[in-house]
Chains A and B, each alone.
Chain A
């Protein structure tokens, strides 16, 4: 089954404790992206990757890091989480060769930073 898998789905952590949210897709997609979704602000792009070893900032990259060492994986790293990073996070992927606008999303990771 074609899917984007994120882990963990739910996490409560404390300020400053480094964490990683993993994302993996099995569709051989070249394009991957991380979004956060907040009430009143909608979906905002954090980082994106056009292919292996190619990453770039989206609209709200501060406080986040990503890496793309393999095509299927695109982890999101919060080196020192702060309460303003409490949010619902989505990883998404798409075929870059023919970008139809369809992004395939993971089920989301709800993060709370105390």
Chain B
């Protein structure tokens, strides 16, 4: 079983739609959780951190469920510019290293 698993998609949605991605992780010692965005052939960029109480940034809402070991990302009112791959990232400490485990990503295509 992969340490971090995501539905690869692709998710094809029309503009204005609401779309949700889930991500499960296997290491219960995981301490921090993040969503990164990666455009085609570009570098990943932090979209948002995921806090235990859930957090929102504009049209984006992230949730964490530690008991079930999953993270979610909700995008409301999708824009064409939201088309990208969304990477779920989990961190735990491994000695001196801030160990980041990356999911393979969920591909989103927002269509006009």
Query: What residues of chain A have their CB less than 8 Å away from a CB belonging to chain B?
Result: 31, 40-45, 48, 50, 56, 58, 88, 90, 94, 99-103, 105-108
On chain B, the residues within 8 Å of A40 by CB distance are 104
B44 lies within 8 A of A105 (CB): yes
Contact with A along B65-103 (1 / 0, CB 8 A): 000000000000000000000010101000011101011
Distance (whole angstroms) from the CB of A47 to the closest CB of chain B: 10
Given A50-B96, A56-B96, A101-B89 in contact, is the A43-B32 Cβ separation under 8 Å?
Answer: no
A103 lies within 8 A of B46 (CB): yes
Give the size range of B's interface with the partner: 20 to 34
The reply on B43 being an interface residue by CB < 8 A is: yes
Distance (whole angstroms) from the CB of A106 to the closest CB of chain B: 6
A48 lies within 8 A of B91 (CB): no
A43 lies within 8 A of B102 (CB): yes
Given A105-B44, A107-B43 in contact, is the A42-B98 Cβ separation under 8 Å?
Answer: no
